[in-house]
Amino acid sequence: MSVICGVLYIAFRYYSSSFIKKIRSIFQIKLIKYSLAVLLISLQIIIALKLKAPTGFDPGGIMNQATYTSLSSSGQSYLSRYPNNLLLFFLERLIFVLAGRPSAINFLAVLIILNIVVLDLTIIINYLILNIFNPKKIQILIFGFLSITFFVFTPWIIVFYSDTLVLLPNSILCYLLLTYFRYSNTKWYLLRGLEIGITLWFAYHLKPTSVIILLAGVIVLILSKSIRKTKIVILLLSSLILATSFIVLQQGFTQFTNQQKIVHLDRNARFTAAHFMMMGLQKTGRYSRTDVINSINQPTVSKRTAYNKKIIFQRLKAFGVKGYIKFLIKKNYYNTGDGTLGWGKEGNFLIDYYPTQHRFIKSFFYPNAQRQIYYRVFCQVIWVFVSFGILLTISISDPRILMLQLAFAGLLLFLLLFEGGRSRYLIQFLPIILMLASIGYARLADWLKHRLCSS
């Protein structure tokens, strides 16, 4: 009996100590993760607030107009021409009022903090997406490193604009589409349709290019084997709910826009897709003040569109087939070649009201600053690394990865056809780009491991 008790005691001591070690190990890992997250967010906030400065292009103009009691004539004209920025304007106006109508510099700080929240939530959603692919450790490590580089230690966090704000709804949209067939009950499909419709509406009103993600998802879902196991009636109902939720939100927003008294919109001033296609065909395909002025001079939407189409055909004819192909190659380089994602390339990019403060950190990030070359070289090296990682995914046949590839290819095509010429337009699909790169390197690691083992 004493022998049995002794054995049981030793076994209990062994397994209990082993169990305690496992629990302790789990807590230590979680503690390290949470501590690292707090450290990164703290650094993110410190860097952002030290770099903060109003911008002179679109984000700065919208922010300024959001703080005015009554909009200036230039603000009215801007929002009339670019109604796609109306949601962003109303959102900033609401934030300004809820924040107690702070001074311009304090309002900028509030927007920067919100920008950080959006970026950090984007990282979390992207991590959930990555888990769908049953990632290896190397894939998580690479994605984590790239996320820290492009979402944490990036000066873009001080620019509150649709480029960064759309990252969250775009990421949620990817997650919803990739998990569409996770469960096979009717309620799940109907709920997914509603969620996708609402998310798409918000994403679309920040960046219309978000529709590309939906199109990529629909193509992959149609080709998926799971669709054959699902009743067509349920899929049609899900699609109907998606469309209905989008239309209801759109009608509600249109009604609100028509009734609100904050900004008077001139419906004849609106720029159509033809205007942006026209700009996309000049020189580098980027913003052209001359093209904008010429479009403004057309009195109605129909006459403006007719003028834009005329110029489009003139420019295509002037290119010729070979010339147009050369132009597209050059434009694609301008669209994708800058690792800083177009940082500092817009006119009046940053307006430094306090040039004597935080000089050291500003010297790395401010346009034409003393040490900015270090930041640009670092970004370019990382961007080459990312680009190579994306190329490594070409031979992967996973339909889920195909959706990400199609979405990225769709954006590249869109930027070739419409206004582009800046790598800044890639920011909106940055989560997709980074996920593809991390997946590519995980595939490379598997290939190398297989080669080494076989040899």
- At 48-71, the pLDDT tens digits run 888 888 887 888 889 988 888 777
Q: 25 and 134 share a domain?
A: no
End-to-end CA distance of the chain: give it in Å, rounded: 56
Phi and psi angles of residue 370, each rounded to the nearest 5 degrees, phi first: -60, -45
Question: Which range is least confidently modeled, 25-34, 84-93, 112-121, 148-157?
Answer: 25-34
8 Å CB contact between 437 and 390: yes
Report yes or no on 273 lying in a domain: no
Residue type, position 159, single letter: V
Residues 99 and 25 in one domain: no
pTM of the model: 0.89
Q: Are residues 160 and 78 in the same domain?
A: yes
- Say whether both 191 and 162 belong to one domain: yes
How many structural domains are present in the chain? Answer: 2
Instruction: Please indicate, yes or no, whether residues 157 and 220 belong to a single structural domain of this protein.
Output: yes
- Do 134 and 15 share a structural domain? no
User: What is the per-residue pLDDT for 52?
Assistant: 86
For residues 31 and 89, membership in a common domain is answered with no
Q: Are residues 227 and 170 in the same domain?
A: yes
- The verdict on 39 and 66 lying in the same domain is no
Note whether 43 and 99 are same-domain residues. no
Half-sphere CA count of 451, side-chain side, radius 13 A = 6
Structure tokens at 260: 């609100």
With DSSP H G I counted as helix, E B as strand and the rest as coil, what are the percentages for the chain, rounded to 5? 75, 0, 25
Considering only CA atoms, give the Rg of the chain: 25
Among 113, 98, 101, which residue's Cα sits nearest to residue 48? 113
> Is residue 74 included in any domain, yes or no?
yes
Does the pLDDT at position 291 exceed 90?
yes
| pLDDT surpassing 60 at residue 1 | no
Supply the pLDDT for residue 5.
53
Q: Name the residue range of residue 420's domain.
A: 52-265+337-454
Residue range 341-365: mean pLDDT, rounded:
83
Residue finishing a domain among 50, 66, 87 = 50
Residue 223 included in any domain: yes
- Two tokens at 374? 């270090």
46 plus 58 within the same structural domain: no
In a domain, 175, yes or no: yes
pLDDT reported for residue 7:
46
- How far apart are the C-alpha atoms of 362 and 353, rounded to whole Å? 12
Same domain flag for 166 and 238: yes
